[in-house]
Structure 1
């Protein structure tokens, strides 16, 4: 591709689902993106269109795409799904059935993204999007499995960045909770091992996406 997408095409790309990359637009817009290698039409009904890796790169190359990606991890007044990483800065935990459905839908969308973007179509191994958004991806795996996030009204898991490449730290209120988080992440395709902070002696998980 030598020419950048048009403004209309750019809007369609920026409005793609932040987890699955599913696109919404006119038939002409979607067909143009397919022709340029930025989207593909799913072979099974309802034949939705999704961003290709090249399309994801286009979205991530601009500030607008960063805003869209942030919507996956942080609360949004527009009601965009937010992966809960655990912390006082997040809204009080919502244990409603609606939240459960949102989490389930987001996790299923992430599995579909794995199937579409992993070279072998594997769904038991994290994909490129997860490696680029480690904290959000780990938090979604934990919440989708039923673990509660820490927050103003609850003591639960906290997922944090680490200086190590492709690794996050997961904290939990007790050893049993921590072991449960480790098992969940391993089932979701991550490697997780318990570590101890040298100064505080606090136990935590060091987790990274499995490659094979």
Structure 2
């Protein structure tokens, strides 16, 4: 079992940014000690800042460690989003959405990772328009853009957005409780590199957005 950090190391952990986990202080020796304990990691890109690992975040926030993995032949793994695997909230989930620090950190990290994926995979390195992964995962990509911007997904007791697939291969539908929500979602998606236009369902007369990733 890893020994607990010293008081000096604990002060370094407590100084970390609560969302990104970036360590704001500490000597090189202290940072190296946190990396050795699995509580921090050194970012491979300049300026090579140090960030808390999930274990470091749990220690900082006083959260219990996750249970050990089941032995071979034990219970199957839980679905994505229930066993520590990030999943964008598309709205309409049975569980009430959580807005706690852990979820905010996960969403922020996922969005930053997606921007880095854009930079690495778009031919010109652009981060202002969706990449190939997003075009292959339209619902999840649009939902992540909305949640990362602070929009609330629809829940059991919460009115918010819902992102759904459409018959069109390059577009998703975004539903909301009112015109104001849809207008705000459209503005967010436009900033994230999507085209978003308002439409009306001919049968229900309900207003919704049709959104597709911008290519140029």
| Same fold, judged at TM 0.5 (above) | yes
Structure 2: how far apart are the matches of 1:150 and 1:80? 20
Structure 2: how far apart are the matches of 1:174 and 1:75? 30
Q: In the alignment, which residue of structure 1 is the partner of 2:45?
A: 44
- CA 1:203–1:167 in structure 2 vs 1: closer, same or farther (change >3 Å)? same
Q: Identify unmatched segments of 5+ residues in structure 2.
A: 1-42, 49-76
Q: In the alignment, which residue of structure 2 is the partner of 1:200?
A: 204
Report the number of matched residues: 144
Determine whether 1:165 maps to 2:166: no
SS at match of 1:114: helix
Q: In the alignment, which residue of structure 2 is the partner of 1:76?
A: 81
The partner residue of 2:90 within 74, 85, 90 is 85
Determine whether 1:119 maps to 2:142: no
Taking only aligned residues, the RMSD between alpha carbons, in angstroms, comes to 1.8
Deviation string 1:29-73 (CA, Å, 9 cap, x unpaired) is xxxxxxxxxxxxx98356xxxxxxxxxxxxxxxxxxxxxxxx9xx
Structure 2: how far apart are the matches of 1:95 and 1:153? 14
Q: How many Å apart are 1:101 and its aligned residue?
A: 0.8
Runs of 4+ in structure 1 off by over 6 angstroms are: none
The partner residue of 1:137 within 138, 141, 144 is 141
In terms of fraction of residues, the more helix-rich structure is 1
Larger-gyration structure (1/2)? 2
Q: Identify unmatched segments of 5+ residues in structure 1.
A: 1-41, 47-70
Q: How many Å apart are 1:79 and its aligned residue?
A: 1.1
Q: How many Å apart are 1:75 and its aligned residue?
A: 4.1
**TM-score normalized by the length of structure 1:** 0.65
**TM-score normalized by the length of structure 2:** 0.64
Structure 2: how far apart are the matches of 1:82 and 1:178? 22
